[in-house]
């Protein structure tokens, strides 16, 4: 066991090491042994999140058991100017939980209680380490579920979902994490514990919760979350439809939206993505399809039946073949299996790949897909396309072989050019994976200096010392400075102060 402070030689910068050592001492006073990690080998377990090509060994890992421990560690960080990074399950795809070498990684995996399930209020209260799917599992016996369903829902945590404002396949109809979180307990970057929002709607005051959700851990750490539970639909029909081309599948999607139908999900996969999924999970997608759509309709039974008939007709009119309808959970799961395993499945057809995440206005889909095909053709870099077609969220999978010299760079270039296409068409550089460390450099292409400066006013309000997940989201940190007319002095750091805010 080597505490960074015990081996100053390991750490050329003395000052950060001293601060970190002080935080480590405080953490050991507060948290039982397995919850404080400073051994280099064990620290390396935490060197990356789901985006494995960025790796930094954290200075210290703490795994608090409750909010009091977590807040005290953050207080110690604030006192010594030590940066901290929150991590849930570590499934993020933008390096949002990439550790800081001279900082503390605060892991919420031991805060996993589902505190309350209140169907009569349509609410549940959960701790940040709770797995997304477990909320739905707890609510389903009461006839309810938790709507946001990222593909990683079997392992990703609610705390991570809040940080990233996670979406999922069904956000076309049901929205994102921000639409389903009513209240949260937040540990501020000063280590204060504050309550944001309320279980009732429309809490008075600024919607600080709305700013915190999706802020990627840069405004503090959420330690309890009150979520909305949604009534299970009376009927769900999942439809798998094969098309000859993505153009046909795109035209069918447009026709469905134009008909005033809002499906729970419309997902598209192109030929290469279908090939990968078949190789991995044998999902039985239509043979010879150049594209498939997975369309899910849910709601009251009569309407779902009517909408199904119309969707079926619109798909046929746009060249569909090989339709398959699933009405029971087992058949539905099989259709979804191909889609939900698509990212990992690409590993079957390519040794390495980049998962891109960009958004375009849905109507620009045919044009952008053709441009991606051109990019792929001229560069020789293969691209498999998987996307949430209903809301224009693309997940191109850029394939390469890292053992071939220059292949990684070529893939990076194509991946970046795809984001440029998204911006050119008025879209976004990320629909659900977040900016993190990976896309901070692209932020100035989407927002000008004034936009970024204004966003960082929020950061300065919450975290003037820039210690909460620094280096993420924004390419250049704003120097916060003092606010004219604001009261001076440090925030109360004593335990008494903490007890008060409880």
Partner 1 sequence: MPGPGSATLAGAARDAVASSCTEVREATDLDQVGGVVPALVARPASTEEVGEVMRAAAGHRLSVVPRGAGTKLSWGLPPRSADLVVDLSALDRVLEHAAGDLIVATQAGAPLRTVQQTLAGAGQRLALDETVAGATVGGTLAANTSGPHRLAGGTARDLLIGITVVRADGVVAKAGGRVVKNVAGYDLGKLMIGSLGTLAVVTEALFRLHPLPETQRWVTVRVDDPAEAYRLVQSVVHAQAVPSAVEVDWPAHGDGAVSVLLEGRADGVAGRVRTVSGLLGGTSSEDEGPPAGWASYPWAEGQTGLKLTFVLSGLGDVLTAARAAGAHLRGSAGSGVLYASVAEPDRAPAALESLRAACAGHDGSVVVVEAPPEVRLAVDVWGPVPALDLMRRVKDRFDPEHRLSPGRFVGGI
Are 98 and 56 in contact, with CB atoms under 8 Å apart? Answer: yes
Query: Among 101, 155, 199, 373, which residue sits at the site for partner 1 (rule: CB under 8 A)?
Result: 199
Query: Among 26, 87, 332, 388, which residue sits at the site for partner 1 (rule: CB under 8 A)?
Result: 388
Query: Among 33, 403, 405, 486, which residue sits at the site for partner 1 (rule: CB under 8 A)?
Result: 486
Q: Are strands 84-87 and 104-107 parallel, antiparallel or unpaired?
A: parallel
Which one of the spans 50-58, 74-82, 153-161, 259-267 is the region binding partner 1 (CB under 8 A)? 259-267
Give ∠ CA 363-369-372 in degrees, rounded to 5. 140
Query: Among 188, 238, 246, 356, which residue sits at the site for partner 1 (rule: CB under 8 A)?
Result: 188
Q: Which is nearer to partner 1, 210 or 408 (CB)?
A: 210
The two tokens of residue 326 are 């699933």
Query: Among 432, 438, 466, 470, which residue sits at the site for partner 1 (rule: CB under 8 A)?
Result: 432
Half-sphere exposure of 117 (CA within 13 A, CB side): 17
Q: Which is nearer to partner 1, 165 or 238 (CB)?
A: 165
Backbone CA torsion sign across 452, 457, 458, 460: positive
Q: Which is nearer to partner 1, 109 or 254 (CB)?
A: 254
Are 62 and 109 in contact, with CB atoms under 8 Å apart? Answer: no
CA 350/CA 372 separation, integer angstroms = 18
The distance of closest approach from Cβ of residue 301 to partner 1 in the complex, given in angstroms and rounded to an integer, is 8
447 binds partner 1 (CB under 8 A): yes
Residue 357 CA, chain-centre distance (Å), reads: 11
Q: SS3 of 350, please?
A: coil
The distance of closest approach from Cβ of residue 493 to partner 1 in the complex, given in angstroms and rounded to an integer, is 14
H/E element, 251: helix 246-258
360 binds partner 1 (CB under 8 A): yes
CA 283/CA 290 separation, integer angstroms = 16
Q: Which is nearer to partner 1, 12 or 204 (CB)?
A: 204
230 binds partner 1 (CB under 8 A): no
Which one of the spans 34-42, 62-70, 260-268, 348-356 is the region binding partner 1 (CB under 8 A)? 260-268
- Tell me the per-residue interface mask from 90 to 129 with partner 1, x by CB under 8 A, - otherwise: ----------------------------xxxxxx------
Query: Among 64, 83, 92, 434, which residue sits at the site for partner 1 (rule: CB under 8 A)?
Result: 434
The two tokens of residue 410 are 């070529």
Which one of the spans 5-13, 36-44, 391-399, 409-417 is the region binding partner 1 (CB under 8 A)? 391-399
Q: Which is nearer to partner 1, 84 or 176 (CB)?
A: 176
Query: Among 460, 465, 493, 497, which residue sits at the site for partner 1 (rule: CB under 8 A)?
Result: 460
429 binds partner 1 (CB under 8 A): yes
Q: Which is nearer to partner 1, 270 or 391 (CB)?
A: 391
The two tokens of residue 143 are 């006839």
Query: Among 105, 342, 473, 498, which residue sits at the site for partner 1 (rule: CB under 8 A)?
Result: 473
Q: SS3 of 332, please?
A: helix
CA 41/CA 314 separation, integer angstroms = 57
484 binds partner 1 (CB under 8 A): yes
Q: Which residues fall within 8 angstroms of residue 14, CB to CB, at 6 or more apart? A: 8
CA 433/CA 170 separation, integer angstroms = 15
Q: Are strands 291-299 and 235-243 parallel, antiparallel or unpaired?
A: antiparallel
258 binds partner 1 (CB under 8 A): yes
Total residues contacting partner 1 by CB under 8 A comes to 95
Residues 125-184 close enough to bind partner 1 by CB under 8 A: 143, 164-165, 167, 171, 175-176, 178-179
- Ramachandran bin of 395, using left for φ above 0, alpha for ψ from -120 to 50, beta for the remaining angles: beta
Are 101 and 130 in contact, with CB atoms under 8 Å apart? Answer: no
Half-sphere exposure of 283 (CA within 13 A, CB side): 29
363 binds partner 1 (CB under 8 A): yes
Q: Which is nearer to partner 1, 16 or 167 (CB)?
A: 167
Q: SS3 of 13, please?
A: coil
- Tell me the per-residue interface mask from 204 to 223 with partner 1, x by CB under 8 A, - otherwise: xxxxxxxx-xxx--------
Residues 327-346 close enough to bind partner 1 by CB under 8 A: none
Query: Among 1, 13, 302, 333, which residue sits at the site for partner 1 (rule: CB under 8 A)?
Result: 302
């Amino acid at each position: 066991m080597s505490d960074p402070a015990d081996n100053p030689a390991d750490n050329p910068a003395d000052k950060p090491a001293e601060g970190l050592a002080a935080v480590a001492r405080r953490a050991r006073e507060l948290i039982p042994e397995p919850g404080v990690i400073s051994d280099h080998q064990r620290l390396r377990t935490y060197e990356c999140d789901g985006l494995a090509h960025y790796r930094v060994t954290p200075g210290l890992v703490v795994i608090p058991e409750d909010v009091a421990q977590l807040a005290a560690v953050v207080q110690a960080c604030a006192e010594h100017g030590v940066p901290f990074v929150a991590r849930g399950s570590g499934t993020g795809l933008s390096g949002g939980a990439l550790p800081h070498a001279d900082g503390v990684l605060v892991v919420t995996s031991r805060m996993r209680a589902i505190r309350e399930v209140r169907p009569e209020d349509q609410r549940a209260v959960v701790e940040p380490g709770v797995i997304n799917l477990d909320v739905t599992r707890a609510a389903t016996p009461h006839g309810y579920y938790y709507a946001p369903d990222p593909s990683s829902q079997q392992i990703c945590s609610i705390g991570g979902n809040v940080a990233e404002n996670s979406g999922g396949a069904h956000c076309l109809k049901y929205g994102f994490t921000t639409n389903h979180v009513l209240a949260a307990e937040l540990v501020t970057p000063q280590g204060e514990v504050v309550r944001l929002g309320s279980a009732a709607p429309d809490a008075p005051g600024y919607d600080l919760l709305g700013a915190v959700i999706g802020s990627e851990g840069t405004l503090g750490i959420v330690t309890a979350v009150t979520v909305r539970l949604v009534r299970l639909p009376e009927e769900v029909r999942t439809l798998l439809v094969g098309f000859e081309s993505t153009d046909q599948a795109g035209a069918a999607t447009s026709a469905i939206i134009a008909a005033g139908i809002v499906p729970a999900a419309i997902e598209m996969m192109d030929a290469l993505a279908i090939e990968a999924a078949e190789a991995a999970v044998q999902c039985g997608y239509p043979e010879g399809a150049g594209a498939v759509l997975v369309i899910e309709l849910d709601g009251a039974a009569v309407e779902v039946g009517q909408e199904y008939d119309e969707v079926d007709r619109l798909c046929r009119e746009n060249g569909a073949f090989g339709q398959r309808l699933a009405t029971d959970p087992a058949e539905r799961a099989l259709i979804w299996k191909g889609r939900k395993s698509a990212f990992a499945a690409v590993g079957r057809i390519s040794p390495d790949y980049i998962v891109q995440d960009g958004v375009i206005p849905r109507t620009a889909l045919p044009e952008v897909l053709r441009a991606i095909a051109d990019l792929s053709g001229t560069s020789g870099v293969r691209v498999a396309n998987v996307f949430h077609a209903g809301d224009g969220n693309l997940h191109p999978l850029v394939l390469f072989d890292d053992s071939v010299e220059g292949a990684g760079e070529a893939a990076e270039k194509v991946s970046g050019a795809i984001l440029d296409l998204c911006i050119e068409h008025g879209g976004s550089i990320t629909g659900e994976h977040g900016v993190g460390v990976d896309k901070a450099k692209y932020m100035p292409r989407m927002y000008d200096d004034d936009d970024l400066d204004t966003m960082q006013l929020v950061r300065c309000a919450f975290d003037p010392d820039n210690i909460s997940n620094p280096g993420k989201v924004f390419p250049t940190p704003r120097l916060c400075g003092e606010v004219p007319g604001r009261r001076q002095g440090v925030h109360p750091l004593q335990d008494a102060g903490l007890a008060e805010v409880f």
